[in-house]
Amino acid sequence: MAKFTVVTMTDKFQLSVKSTTLLPHRIQKFLEQPRISDIRQTERSCCFMRKEILILTAVASLIMAATASAQSDAQIKSELIGYWMSPRHGYLIQNNGLMRMCPTVGPNRAMTTNRWDVRSGMFYQDGEPYKIVKLTKSEFDYEAVRKSGVQVNGKFVVTCPVGTVFPLYRTTRSRAEE
């Protein structure tokens, strides 16, 4: 008959062997398994590493997103040149800094002309700054970052509250000039 080893559990759930003798296969296998304290230490290490990897991944993602989406002012300006349509009017954005309401020709031509520019990634129309919300080949949305308005009888009347978004959609010359 094989001798059995006396195995006791300490208060920290660690196994300790009091004598060395031949052990049955199951007990030997049990003792070779990692201890609970080892498992907890490994879990802490893994948890710390997971957090570290998540933080590094988040930082890398933010850096890549910032550099990927940050276009130069010249790139933004070149994408804005051309005909655009708002819900009310067509516009021609020219490379000379003029934004003209359409139609620009003919007997009923529009007289509204604005100055535009792009500085530090912001769209400026007649000196007022607007945040570029979306700029694709077919859509340009810009948002008011401060209220603007007009003076009427000595009172300031807000015509554009903060957060107003102006959508423009790429169009053709013939459509804008109708």
Look at residues 128, 97, 124 and name the one whose alpha carbon lies nearest to residue 113.
Answer: 97
Dihedral (C-alpha) 76, 77, 83, 86: value to the nearest 10 degrees? 60
Tell me the pLDDT tens digit for each residue of 63-121: 655 544 567 899 999 999 999 999 999 999 999 999 999 988 888 888 899 999 999 99
Query: Does residue 107 share a domain with residue 92?
Result: yes
Of 69, 86, 107, which marks where a domain is finished? 69
Query: Does residue 88 share a domain with residue 48?
Result: no
Reported confidence tier of residue 51, pLDDT bands at 50, 70, 90: confident
Q: How many domains does the chain have?
A: 2
In a domain, residue 1? The reply is no
Which residues span the domain enclosing 62?
Answer: 7-69
In a domain, residue 45? The reply is yes
Query: Does residue 87 share a domain with residue 45?
Result: no
Structural contact between residues 115 and 123, judged by C-beta atoms closer than 8 angstroms: no
CATH (domain of 154) = 2.40.128
∠144-149-154 over CA atoms, to 5°?
A: 160
Query: Does residue 157 share a domain with residue 122?
Result: yes
pTM passes above 0.75: no
